[in-house]
């Protein structure tokens, strides 16, 4: 009898360069259709062959208010290390693929995720989009083998922890859209010991969750990681990054607007 397990994956779309996802003048910046959404993320799975059975995801809508422009499909690429060597970077976020030329050696498979339009059933999720992977049984995501289930066999003992192997996933966006939050700073902050950011604009709970990494619209250094969030307040796990001052109406960016759940059978 198979053993089933889930792995949660939360990519970083900022990846150290905030200019990839928002303009310095605070205006929204689309990540272009067909461009890289996030570079390789490492996933530890129990060692030995297994089967990827399901992929679901949730992605914030533009400014956390669902409308047609927010709806786009995603394509995921899976790879493995070879003799402990990771696949080459796919390049920069919001750019066409510039790396990955060794991918034929590292290739494991891929999946297309279909965005689910908001319906009455999902009326409480109008600030985001639900996703599910195509399967070989449907007529969209499963064509050409680009779907589930996917049998994977990885580089032995490549995982971070003993007893695990390492799987890599990178993501591409199909239609251009932005990842602005609409959450802005309410009142300047210059204290090096402050851990709480008072905000207004969009309800912050629609844009941020505990564990998310917070950036300013024009600073490449993260402010910190979310400890808790309410409609008008974001509390960080530690003091705001030293030397980073926040001005009133600065725009906050979430480096982790999409969360995946991968389901495996061992």
Are residues 161 and 220 both part of a single domain? no
Are residues 226 and 171 both part of a single domain? no
Are residues 108 and 202 both part of a single domain? no
Structural domains in the chain (count): 2
Which residues, 6+ apart, have CB-to-CB distance to 260 below 8 Å? Answer: 8, 9, 10, 11, 55, 56, 57, 169
Are residues 170 and 187 both part of a single domain? no
Statement: residue 260 has pLDDT above 90:
yes
In the chain, what percentage of residues exceed pLDDT 90?
A: 58
Are residues 173 and 213 both part of a single domain? no
Are residues 193 and 174 both part of a single domain? no
Q: Which pLDDT score, from 0 to 100, does residue 39 have?
A: 95
pLDDT-based confidence at residue 118 (cuts at 50, 70, 90):
low
Are residues 217 and 130 both part of a single domain? no
* Average pLDDT score over residue span 113-124: 60
Are residues 126 and 215 both part of a single domain? no
pLDDT digit string, tens, across residues 202-227: 999 999 999 999 999 999 999 999 99
- Distance between CA atoms of residues 8 and 187, nearest Å: 35
Are residues 103 and 148 both part of a single domain? yes
Q: Is the separation of the CB atoms in 97 and 90 below 8 Å?
A: yes
Are residues 137 and 205 both part of a single domain? no
Are residues 33 and 110 both part of a single domain? yes
**Which domain covers residue 160, as residue numbers?**
4-178+257-265
Q: pTM value?
A: 0.89
* Average pLDDT score over residue span 87-104: 84
Mean pLDDT estimate for the chain: 87
Handedness of CA 174, 177, 178, 182 (dihedral sign): negative
Are residues 115 and 220 both part of a single domain? no
Q: H-helix or E-strand containing 104?
A: helix 103-106
């Amino acid at each position: 009898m198979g053993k089933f397990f889930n792995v949660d994956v939360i990519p970083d779309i900022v990846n150290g360069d905030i200019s990839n996802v928002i303009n310095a003048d605070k205006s929204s910046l689309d990540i272009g259709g067909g461009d890289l959404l996030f570079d390789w993320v490492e996933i530890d799975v129990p060692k030995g062959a297994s089967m990827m059975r399901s992929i679901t995801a949730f992605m914030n809508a533009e400014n956390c208010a669902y409308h047609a422009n927010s709806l786009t499909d995603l394509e995921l690429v899976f790879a493995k290390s070879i003799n402990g060597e990771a696949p080459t970077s796919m390049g920069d976020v919001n750019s066409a693929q510039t790396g990955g030329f060794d991918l034929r050696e590292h290739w494991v498979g891929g999946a297309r995720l279909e965005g689910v339009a908001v319906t009455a059933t999902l009326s409480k999720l109008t600030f985001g989009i639900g996703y599910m992977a195509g399967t070989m049984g449907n007529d969209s995501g499963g064509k050409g083998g680009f779907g589930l289930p996917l049998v994977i066999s990885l580089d032995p003992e490549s995982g971070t922890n003993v007893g695990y192997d390492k799987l890599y996933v990178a993501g591409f966006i199909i239609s251009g859209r932005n990842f602005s939050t609409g959450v802005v700073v309410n009142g300047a902050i210059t204290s090096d010991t402050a851990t709480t950011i008072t905000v207004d604009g969009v309800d912050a709970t629609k844009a941020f969750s505990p564990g998310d990494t917070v950036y300013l619209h024009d600073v490449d250094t993260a402010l910190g990681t979310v400890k808790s969030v309410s409609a008008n307040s974001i509390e960080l796990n530690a003091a705001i990054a030293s030397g980073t001052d926040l001005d009133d109406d600065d725009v906050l960016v979430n480096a982790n607007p999409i969360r995946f759940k991968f389901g495996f059978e061992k």
